[in-house]
């Protein structure tokens, strides 16, 4: 018995799969967001270092394969679909396929753990836009709840921090710092996330505290930001991870474990902005550097998705959560996380 849902949809960001995809993909990402052309050219170059192929699509294919096995092993007989916000397979095409297959009502897992416009409500807007494009008989799609504090997400981050620490010189543990990172967002986007505002940075602070307490309670940690985009005159969350590494090197820190708790897989922001840029910054400073892995297809993470699905199939009231004091409803709460104002790209850049 699988309740009243007849499919599960993996909802993700999407990424280019070849050199010619890069610019059209980036234009989809930043449409109406006022990101300067110079920033886009810089990011395009990051993708071109990898032959214009983002790792995110392959990671989603691997996640789908793992979910297929997980569902089969637990007797969940629902077909899996995959649709993206910014690149093929695009969500509207996936909804069309679902409709053709007779799907009426699907549950959606978005590859984004936290609350904010970009990481939550925008996915709901994407669903609504795609449904409008497909027409009145488009499938219904319900987003699963937030999972930032689920043990299936936090647990893999804990083990990854332990493993990264294990690769550093134990003699310098006393001067080792854990540096948690997440995607920076405009300060106004953080301020409007959640019913009372600030929920994006608050959830990240919660997870940083949970991971550090379980992985290395003896070490100091910080939460900093990476991958800033947008026009320079708009304030985004700071400090940037590179500036932060400079600051802590000046305080006598000798080694840093960088743990990207803001992400679920090692996509381009992780392998470029951390494994390349931040690592280089650390090298220039003479700081030991170890980047902790993201959940990817860790069996606990895959099991978490299955659990989130069964919570809804059986209307279960038991939810595994490590921060039960915080609200994390099934979806973005009414009135929360409004879309930022649309702005044109600045002229002359
Ligand atoms: C909060 C957040 C997450 C985490 C939650 C989640 O995972 O959803 C995230 C993830 C990702 N961001 C990604 C890529 C990009 N994000 C950009 C731009 C932006 N990100 C923003 C926020 C976030 N982004 C924002 C507020 C912007 C400004 C434009 C706008 O207001 O929308 C740009 C434009 C160029 C630039 O960076 O300037 C790119 C290319 C990829 C794919 C990587 C790959 O290909 O492997 C992933 C997973
Ligand atoms: Fe982004």
Per-residue model confidence (pLDDT) at position 195? 84
- Write b or e for each residue in 76-115: b if 16 or more Cβ atoms lie within 10 A of its Cβ, otherwise e: bebebbbbbbbbebbbbebbbebbeeebeebbbbbbbbbb
Number of separate helices (H) and strands (E) present in the chain: 12, 8
pLDDT at 305 over 70: yes
As a whole number of Å, the end-to-end CA separation of the chain is 57
Per-residue model confidence (pLDDT) at position 349? 39
Per-residue model confidence (pLDDT) at position 337? 86
Residue among 120, 275, 294, 130 at smallest CA distance from 190: 120
To test the pocket of ligand 1, the residue of 15, 23, 183 to mutate (highest count of ligand atoms within 8 Å of its CB) is 183
- For 243-252, the pLDDT digits (tens) are 999 999 999 9
DSSP H or E run through 11: strand 7-12
Span 149-167, average pLDDT:
98
Task: Give all domains of the chain, ordered by start, each with its CATH number.
Answer: 7-147+298-313 (3.40.50.1400), 151-291 (3.40.50.1400)
Per-residue model confidence (pLDDT) at position 319? 87
- For 170-183, the pLDDT digits (tens) are 999 999 999 999 99
The residue among 134 and 341 whose pLDDT is bigger is 134
Indicate the average pLDDT of the chain. 94
| Cα separation, 107 vs 123, whole angstroms | 13
Residue 342 CA: which ligand is closest? 1
Span 105-113, average pLDDT:
97
Per-residue model confidence (pLDDT) at position 348? 40
- What are the residues whose beta carbons fall under 8 Å from the beta carbon of 156, sequence distance 6 or more? 293, 294, 295, 296, 298, 300, 301
Confirm or deny that 114 is annotated as ligand binding: no
- Whether 68 and 82 have beta carbons less than 8 Å apart is answered as no
pLDDT at 329 over 90: no
Is beta strand 105-110 parallel, antiparallel or unpaired with respect to 288-291?
A: unpaired
Closest protein CA for atom 40 of ligand 1: 26
* ipTM of predicted complex: 0.95
- Whether 212 and 178 have beta carbons less than 8 Å apart is answered as yes
Please give the model's pTM, rounded to 2 decimal places: 0.95
Per-residue model confidence (pLDDT) at position 3? 55
To test the pocket of ligand 1, the residue of 13, 270, 294 to mutate (highest count of ligand atoms within 8 Å of its CB) is 13
| Cα separation, 36 vs 345, whole angstroms | 6
Confirm or deny that 123 is annotated as ligand binding: yes
DSSP H or E run through 180: strand 176-183
HSE of 79, CA atoms in CB hemisphere, 13 A: 13
Q: Is there an atom of ligand 1 within 6 Å of 244 CB?
A: no
Residue 267 CA: which ligand is closest? 1
Residue 268 CA: which ligand is closest? 1
pLDDT grade for 2, boundaries at 50, 70 and 90: very low
């Amino acid at each position: 018995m699988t309740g009243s849902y007849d499919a599960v949809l993996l909802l993700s960001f999407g990424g280019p799969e070849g050199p010619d995809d890069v610019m059209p993909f980036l234009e989809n990402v930043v449409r109406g967001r006022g990101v300067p052309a110079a920033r886009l050219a810089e990011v395009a170059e990051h993708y071109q270092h990898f032959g214009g192929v983002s790792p995110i699509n392959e990671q989603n294919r691997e996640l789908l394969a793992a979910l297929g096995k997980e569902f089969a092993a637990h007797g969940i007989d629902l077909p899996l679909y995959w649709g993206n916000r910014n690149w093929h397979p695009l969500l509207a095409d996936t909804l069309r396929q679902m409709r053709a297959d007779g799907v009426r009502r699907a549950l959606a897992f978005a590859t984004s753990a936290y609350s904010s416009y970009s990481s939550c409500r925008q996915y709901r807007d994407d669903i609504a836009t795609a449904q409008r494009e497909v027409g009145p008989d488009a499938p219904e799609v319900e987003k699963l709840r937030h999972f930032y504090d689920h043990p299936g997400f936090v647990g893999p981050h804990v083990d990854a921090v332990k493993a990264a620490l294990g690769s550093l010189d134990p003699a310098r543990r006393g001067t080792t710092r854990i540096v948690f990172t997440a995607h920076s967002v405009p300060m106004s986007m953080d301020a409007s996330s959640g019913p009372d505002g600030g929920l994006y940075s608050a959830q990240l602070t919660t997870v940083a505290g949970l991971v550090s307490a379980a992985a290395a309670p003896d070490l100091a940690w910080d939460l900093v930001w990476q991958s800033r985009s947008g026009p320079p005159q708009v304030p985004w969350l700071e400090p940037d991870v590179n500036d932060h590494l400079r600051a802590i090197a000046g305080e006598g820190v000798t080694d840093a474990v960088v743990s990207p708790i803001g992400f679920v897989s090692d996509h381009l922001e992780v392998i470029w902005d951390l494994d390349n840029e931040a690592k280089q910054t650390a090298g220039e400073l003479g700081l030991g550097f170890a980047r902790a892995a993201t959940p990817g297809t860790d069996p606990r993470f895959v099991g978490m998705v299955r659990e989130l699905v069964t919570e809804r199939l059986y209307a279960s009231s038991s939810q595994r959560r490590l921060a039960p004091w915080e609200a994390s409803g099934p979806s973005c709460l009414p009135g929360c996380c409004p879309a930022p104002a649309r702005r044109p790209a600045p002229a002359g850049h």
